[in-house]
Structure 1
Amino acid sequence: MDKQIRVAATYMRGGTSKGVFFRLEDLPEAARTAGQSRDDFLLRVIGSPDSYGKQIDGMGGATSSTSKAVIVNKSAKSDHDVDYLFGQVSIDKAFVDWSGNCGNLSAAVGPFALHSGFIPPERIPYNGVVSVRIWQANIGKTLVVEVPIQNGEVQELGDFELDGVTFPAAEIKVDFVRPTGEDEALFPTGNLIDDLEVPGIGTLNATLISAGIPTVFIDAESVGYTGVELQEAINGDIEALSLFETIRAYGALKMGLVSDIEQAKTRQHTPKVAFVSRAKPYQTSCGKQINSKEIDLNVRALSMGKLHHAMMGTAAVAIASAASVPGTLVNLAAGGGERQGITFGHPSGKLAVGAHVTNTDAGWQVEKVSMSRSARIIMEGFVRVPSDIVK
């Protein structure tokens, strides 16, 4: 009879997501390199594929925000501290999507790097901040995470409140440096607004952007919504979910991310699809009232086929970037004009994100996007999986 093996792991919350974190060196040997063995291992850890959609037999929480895995290693780059690899684990399919980053869990990579001994002791002050420079291996981008230190240890508790997270914690500042590379176009089609033809739906105005994570933005009213919807208004409606998935698939095709519509089914994590509206008052999922004067616009985004309970960190990068370029749908929903960031409303509350964009001869470039998150270790020790999973 096969036995279980145990693998060192840490369960962490980062922003409004949580996932299982591993040091590369702690993984079973066959899972230390990319491939089916690694995917099989992570699927079993998280508890997928689960035809019941609950991930009862694993660490996953049966939502896109809680079905995640992170692998961290000392960086191969001399100017970075760690390499960070993110896997979005499908809930009901035997599939791990490595095509993008998780902006929320990015905040937790900094503390994890410190806890794991990847940062030299001489760089850690007794009280202060450690800047952890991270190479995001999925997308080949740099992140800088400012980790607060108190009495020589990572400060996890504090009074910073993040909408979408129940308890306050210590504030962690995250910079997404050049979220689009010099050889990439911020707007893959070259247009600030495209005519997106979607069979069975019609032609929609859309802003297609590649910053943080490829994202398809549409106007809420163009598909019959107000922009202040909460999860139950979308996630319980099979027709609505099908509508947004179709838009997402054709957006992926328009952006050149897939070669045909069928291929979009194998790329669940990217692109994201989001709908925007001008600032409107609404009641959040926890009953808090958001006044239209507190925000610049409303944004709702779907992740892995469901409306997100708050906002994905990488989608927030895309929102701030698009809002800061005059003439995009996001910018127009916010009132137009030049901006250096945005405060937007999402189902759980609001989020402020700063952005520095420049208009160059080669087109619009995003220099940096900044936001505040928080992170906390929930549990550390070992996960166990059947020994025949990784061979």
Structure 2
Amino acid sequence: MTHVAQIKIPATYMRGGTSKGVFFNLEDLPEVAQVAGNARDALLLRVIGSPDPYGKQTDGMGGATSSTSKTVIVSKSSQPDHDVDYLFGQVSIDKPFVDWSGNCGNLTAAVGSFAISSGLVDADRIPESGIATVRIWQANIRKTIIARVPITNGQVQETGDFELDGVTFPAAEVQVEFMNPADGEGSMFPTGNLVDDLEVPGVGTLKATMINAGIPTIFLNADEIGYVGTELQGAINGDAKALSMFETIRAHGALRMGLIQNIDEAAQRQHTPKVAFVAKSTGYVSSSGKQIAADDIDLLVRALSMGLLHHAMMGTAAVAIATAAAIPGTLVNLAAGGGERNAVRFGHPSGTLRVGAEASLNDGEWSVNKAIMSRSARVLMEGSVRVPGDCF
């Protein structure tokens, strides 16, 4: 029996923030995969090693977690006043689909450096030394993101002393600004309320702040669902009953936010919305053994991604946290102590993160001009990925 040989596709494996993913220049993909559709999805699934009923992604580039089962496609921008278009695909680990419904804020930090190194940013926009401002069009959510990438001797500077909890080694700091991060398809608060009573069958009626900023997110009070806010992954990810509860909450929140039309659609939209729970500041020990004092943070936040508690914090969820914290009366704002604030430092399982947002109230509607955070990024490997030539 004759089998089709493997093909090589130029690719770069990068860390961005607390995530890793396979980056492609759009023009390097096989022609049939340069457009959205089944062929592109099938190719990316095979690259990552999904669907894998063993949950390990051994036969692909994925790392068997939501943070490492990611793909990015970058191209010269089709939008005026932008340098590149950035498309993010969250690849399911055990199911045969790629979720294109949202952005990855962590990998956003790597898009600017990838674009520069790939020759996708005009040379006259890159200083010999200093900071290159890369204007990114996030194609999934149709939003502008500004990445400020350090440059030394005309090349992306990746090494440095910036430390990010959840990442083992220091690197160069990349500041990322999410411009007008609220969902462009509707209100930042899709229900029209800062806090809702969310009825969840089998769970109860929960106070919830449901927000479209960075990524659609459902914020809950930790104590209402039996937690204190200092939990690490082991306290939740090994608890099948808890994971089922969170998925039920997520599905009913998605319905309430208008992201799906019926509850069954939630299973095919795993990437969004996110579910997070908040609590007032208290001390705890992070997953690395680092002691986090109550005075080090303004509040506690834990968030789930692709059905499991995240080991740190998704970048897009951090944007949602920054935005909600800046708006008096949300559950996030109240957990942080209430009142007006343009920045918070929150505690997550791996440590702490400071995020900021500029919010304003106009004609009874809240808006956010931008949310800001710092991340780091690094090329881990570059060259080509190989896949069977008939996999797509």
* TM-score range for the pair, normalised by the shorter chain length: over 0.9
Residue 289 (structure 2) pairs with residue 284 (structure 1): no
1:269 to 263, 268, 271: 271
TM-score (norm 2): 0.99
Matching residue of 2:319: 317
1:332 to 331, 334, 337: 334
* Structure 1 residue 122: Cα displacement: 2.1
2:212 to 210, 228, 232: 210
Gaps of 5+ in 2: none
SS at match of 2:302: strand
* Structure 1 residue 183: Cα displacement: 5.8
SS at match of 1:321: helix
Equivalent residue letter for 1:308: H
- Percent identity, aligned pairs only, is 69
Residue 350 (structure 2) pairs with residue 348 (structure 1): yes
Equivalent residue letter for 1:251: G
What whole-Å deviation, never above 9, does each CA across 1:306-365 have from its counterpart, x for those lacking one? 000000000000001001100011111110000102110000000000100010115000
Measured in 2, the distance between the counterparts of 1:319 and 1:197 equals 22
Q: Do 2:141 and 2:183's aligned partners in 1 also have CA atoms closer than 8 Å? A: no
Measured in 1, the distance between the counterparts of 2:55 and 2:378 equals 26
Matching residue of 2:169: 167
Equivalent residue letter for 1:92: D
Matching residue of 1:138: 140
Map residues 179-198 of structure 1 onto 2, 5 A cutoff.
179-180=181-182, 184-198=186-200
Measured in 1, the distance between the counterparts of 2:52 and 2:265 equals 22
SS at match of 1:77: coil
Matching residue of 1:89: 91
Gaps of 5+ in 1: none
Measured in 2, the distance between the counterparts of 1:316 and 1:72 equals 23
SS at match of 2:268: coil
Measured in 2, the distance between the counterparts of 1:350 and 1:181 equals 26
* Structure 1 residue 182: Cα displacement: 6.1
What whole-Å deviation, never above 9, does each CA across 1:73-104 have from its counterpart, x for those lacking one? 00011210000000000000001000000000
SS at match of 2:131: strand
SS at match of 1:83: strand
Equivalent residue letter for 2:306: M
Residue 102 (structure 2) pairs with residue 70 (structure 1): no
Query: RMSD of the alignment, in Å?
Result: 0.8
Matching residue of 2:129: 127
Q: Do 2:128 and 2:151's aligned partners in 1 also have CA atoms closer than 8 Å? A: yes
Q: Do 1:321 and 1:341's aligned partners in 2 also have CA atoms closer than 8 Å? A: no
Map residues 205-284 of structure 1 onto 2, 5 A cutoff.
205-284=207-286
Equivalent residue letter for 2:97: F
Query: Aligned residues, how many?
Result: 390
Matching residue of 1:40: 42
Q: Do 2:183 and 2:212's aligned partners in 1 also have CA atoms closer than 8 Å? A: no
SS at match of 1:265: helix
What whole-Å deviation, never above 9, does each CA across 1:164-218 have from its counterpart, x for those lacking one? 0000000000000001256621100000100000000110000000000000000
Matching residue of 1:177: 179
* Structure 1 residue 30: Cα displacement: 0.8
Measured in 2, the distance between the counterparts of 1:181 and 1:210 equals 5
Measured in 2, the distance between the counterparts of 1:138 and 1:179 equals 13
* Structure 1 residue 119: Cα displacement: 1.3
Measured in 1, the distance between the counterparts of 2:42 and 2:217 equals 28
* Structure 1 residue 123: Cα displacement: 2.0
Matching residue of 2:24: 22
4+ runs deviating over 6 angstroms: none
TM-score (norm 1): 0.99
What whole-Å deviation, never above 9, does each CA across 1:21-66 have from its counterpart, x for those lacking one? 0000000111000000000000000000000000000000000000
Measured in 2, the distance between the counterparts of 1:200 and 1:122 equals 59
Measured in 2, the distance between the counterparts of 1:173 and 1:326 equals 26
Measured in 2, the distance between the counterparts of 1:151 and 1:27 equals 30
